[in-house]
Structure 1
Amino acid sequence: MNRTFKVMVSPVSTQVFPVVVTALTIRPERVVLLTTPKVEIFTKLIKRALLFAGIEVEERNINPYSFNSIKEKTKDLQNPFLLLNCGTKFTAIALFRLFGEENAYYYTPEGKIIDFNSNLLEKVSQKLVDVELHSQMYGFEIVEERQDHEKIRMREKLTRYIASKPSLLPVLTKLYLKGSARILPNEFAGLAKKFEVVVYRGGKYVVLDREYIGGKWLEEFTFLELLKKNFYDVRIGVKVEWYEKGVINEIDVMATKHNQLHIFSCKTGKNVKEIAKHLYELEELTERIGGDFGKSFLVITENIYVKSPPRREDFPNAPSVPYKVAPSTWNEYYKTEEGQRFKKLFRIYNSFKYLHKRASLLGIEILTPEILKRNLGGRSGA
């Protein structure tokens, strides 16, 4: 960037992200926010974030539909940088008329700051916004988060072993519910003892870390995998509180990459209907915390993620006609051992199809440990 700017001017609207990211990129001495009572809360959020980043901020109230008002409130500014993403179209046109095309710029979702002829002024750094700064932008504060990162890394071998063995899930469920077991798979038992998740006592394995067995392992796997994929800032076990509201939300894993906030909710249970209900909470939370560019993910275990119905070649005795055509034939088939297996798999498939449909409608991506390992490396815009 060849030019330096003393003053950046931006109208205020509900879009907080472009203003903050642009200011952090061009680093003006001062940012002037043209605001109205209607967007007061968003002005506060922008100001809080920029002050947090060490940039001076000034608020000026305007009538966004009055050229004279806009002219009067900006007449003292010399050659300012105009960010015209936000505010009313009238305000943008007025500023364009007052200061000229050479001063007008726009932030694109691809992370570029361009002029109105699409010439690139600056490419925004992909490591500009961490979770703390994002919290300032969107009006929440981190009040608690897990700090035992050393412990998480220490038992990474156990966590990755569990994630790679879907057959272990019923074992973990029983262990969690009963608190002990007389027999465990040898390799799992050895790792669980080594990392003090269970202890062998009185002729049985006794659970020492019930939360880990009950599902924290999936959160830790997600945390470790995001670190491996070079997400800029990764937090686990986070509690956030909304400014001036006292409302607290819990988030399993949150991270930033390409300046976007990514929220991960991890579920190891088999009750798909309960998980589906949670999707609406996750979608609302992402919209409030993540803003215009936030992304949300539901991380589930392999036993729930069944994208295809049972294969006919695996069930040679299954009736060749649909259930609606011959229900009695199917009911007789379900009484057989093969039929029971078919029915169970088909029920799991239908449950996942329902879950996937809901998630797609809400813009939530569903992941498993295996999908998380393969993907999410270079995704996301800037």
Structure 2
Amino acid sequence: MKKLGFLNKVVFFLNTVFAVLLLLSYVLPYVFPKQFPLISVLSLTVPVFIIVNAVFMLYWLIQLKRQFMLSLIILIIGYKYVGAMYRISGESESREEGVRLMTYNVRIFNAYGWLEGNIPEKITELVEREDPDVLCVQEFYHKQEDAFNKNYPHQFIKYTTLNNRTGQAIFSKYPIVERGSLEFPKTGNNALYADIVKGKDTIRIYNLHLESLHIVPSKEHISVENPEVLYKRMGKAFALQHRQVEIFDEHRQKCRHKMIVAGDFNNTPYSYVYRQIKGDMKDSFIEMGSGFGRSYDFDYFPMRIDFILTDPEMEVMAHKNYSERLSDHYPVMATIRLGQAAPEEKEK
């Protein structure tokens, strides 16, 4: 520090602050949102801390100063967190056969005119062009029930108990042999499940839509909103998500099939919610994604809150993020090799 000028001493002080914040944020996935909802809000800032520390590291490297080691060590300690945010290379398409699953929060097909143009038609065209085998839709709208009839003979649409016009849906090219809905209390959100049959495999698909943080995706909007009100509202949403994940986790424990969990978690890979849902499952983005994997339109901030998680015995062969702005979310698709049938299925 003695060899540093005054400006660099100030920069290193700030570097130290952000390095400590990033280090502390590594424990956030283990903090119970129900007990500490406001602390859980900090999970949204982890990508910022990662980027800032990377910038500090480059700043010192350019000057050939050993201070770059501080941020480097912190980033290495949390290498899994960095990998959950950005992947250097991956595969967006697969030449091998597998189940192509897309998850997409369509924001009720632009029913209230947030975007210009014929959005429902464009969403339908995108799905037809990409042609997933299974499509999980969040914020489905009752006036669009015929949108995907052309390619999906097997469908499960369930509107929420608080609103019989919006809900979730699962569309499949494969037969659905069992289906159901997990109703979340005190909210308009829910989760669907459908058991699909492909060849000798029976796979359970979960389509989750967890409690929304109710953030308007605009820096301008957030800058004028009362920070205390915003903070408390988000903390309450995280607490509700915690309860919803408990309901989901209890339900999936009874499932005897391999499963794929997809949907809008309304939370980041650095949260307790994500850690509990993922468990030992594979995250398709971490397996085969590239870039930031942005799935939510928050100006230029790369938020990833939409996920496709697979059974650990399945193989993720490709992962694709889209840039078409037809909702406040972007669709996400993965190509998945199901693997061998479970023992109880072979015996049949």
Q: Which structure has more helix as a fraction of its residues? A: 1
Q: TM-score, normalised by structure 2?
A: 0.26
Q: TM-score, normalised by structure 1?
A: 0.24
The higher-RCO structure (CA 8 Å, 6+ apart) is 2
